[in-house]
Structure 1
């Protein structure tokens, strides 16, 4: 199965993914951004604002996830923001055609907390302004995300607890808390 963690930048997707790996046996993180990084080196692709605009990115994410699960089994956690409904539909349908159950979550937090998290992030310091600039895109996408995914409010919940909420909702067995 796949647990897809969606939501804007700073909502806690990467941190929650790391927590899920700790509590769900045979779980791996697939950072689908690396597919986009790979494609940036291909000559002839049109200039785009976001690599998700390239149809090969969406198809390769589906194929890579499918092959990884065929090879490794278990659970794949994909912490990836997808804010264009048509792109999500294409990915979801591709995974469904591959017979992969997908549990889609949108990690959400209030605007003030989100801004604080982005501005104080010590890891992605070079992307602060880019992340802040995309908050409006997330707000515009929230209506369809709320229909397509289970929304988990991460505002006042520590990441380990968010991971337990996600795991329980996905119906996966977790290791005992340690």
Structure 2
């Protein structure tokens, strides 16, 4: 199974994935950003883009890497990765489905004012122009498709450990009613 943690940059995906992995025996974290980093290291470089997700190989490579990891290790992959383009999400989720891989898609949602405050006052990274540039695209994706596509966990007022506990409990209960159990 794959537990995909989506949401904008600064929502708590990385922190939550670490805590969730500790709550789910036999699970592993796979950060699909590493696939993007591999593509960024190709020389000469691939066509210029502001986001490696725009490169067509990224999406099928994420699917294939996840499939191979699960084939090798079994268990559960926890994947913290922002995907805000609906077509890209469909490509990934349909690819995983084509291999029969169960997928639980969670969005860690943060109200915009709280999100901006988190980004501005991040004690580890400091204010991040990169993170700020995704606040509006996330809001648009959430409003138009993402909020309906995934199981939403509002992280605005709850700490990461509670977020991880809620996701673990949801996974233990089984697929969400009214949602595609992929």
Is the shorter-chain TM-score for this pair beyond 0.5, marking a shared fold?
yes
Q: Separation in 1 of the partners of 2:66 and 2:134? A: 26
Q: Alignment length, in residue pairs?
A: 172
What are the within-5 Å matches in structure 2 for residues 78-97 of structure 1?
Answer: 78-97=79-98
In structure 2, relative to structure 1, the CA distance for the partners of 1:76 and 1:172 (3 Å cut) is farther
Q: Separation in 1 of the partners of 2:155 and 2:45? A: 40
CA-to-aligned-CA distance 1:104-145 (integer Å, 9 cap, x gap): 0110011121111111223333x7011111101001100300
Q: C-alpha displacement at 1:172, in angstroms?
A: 6.7
What are the within-5 Å matches in structure 2 for residues 144-163 of structure 1?
Answer: 144-163=145-164
Q: Separation in 2 of the partners of 1:94 and 1:76? A: 15
Q: C-alpha displacement at 1:171, in angstroms?
A: 2.4
What are the within-5 Å matches in structure 2 for residues 27-42 of structure 1?
Answer: 27-42=27-42
Q: Separation in 1 of the partners of 2:173 and 2:15? A: 19
State the Cα RMSD in Å: 1.5
The equivalent of 2:102 in structure 1 is 101
Q: Secondary structure at the match of 2:95?
A: helix
TM-score (norm 1): 0.92
Q: Separation in 2 of the partners of 1:124 and 1:52? A: 22
Runs of 4+ in 1 over 6 A off after TM superposition: none
Q: Separation in 2 of the partners of 1:141 and 1:128? A: 20
Q: Secondary structure at the match of 2:41?
A: coil
Q: Separation in 2 of the partners of 1:111 and 1:90? A: 28
Gaps of 5+ in 2: 175-182
In structure 2, relative to structure 1, the CA distance for the partners of 1:156 and 1:60 (3 Å cut) is same
The equivalent of 1:12 in structure 2 is 12
Q: Secondary structure at the match of 2:4?
A: strand
Q: C-alpha displacement at 1:154, in angstroms?
A: 0.4
In structure 2, relative to structure 1, the CA distance for the partners of 1:119 and 1:41 (3 Å cut) is same
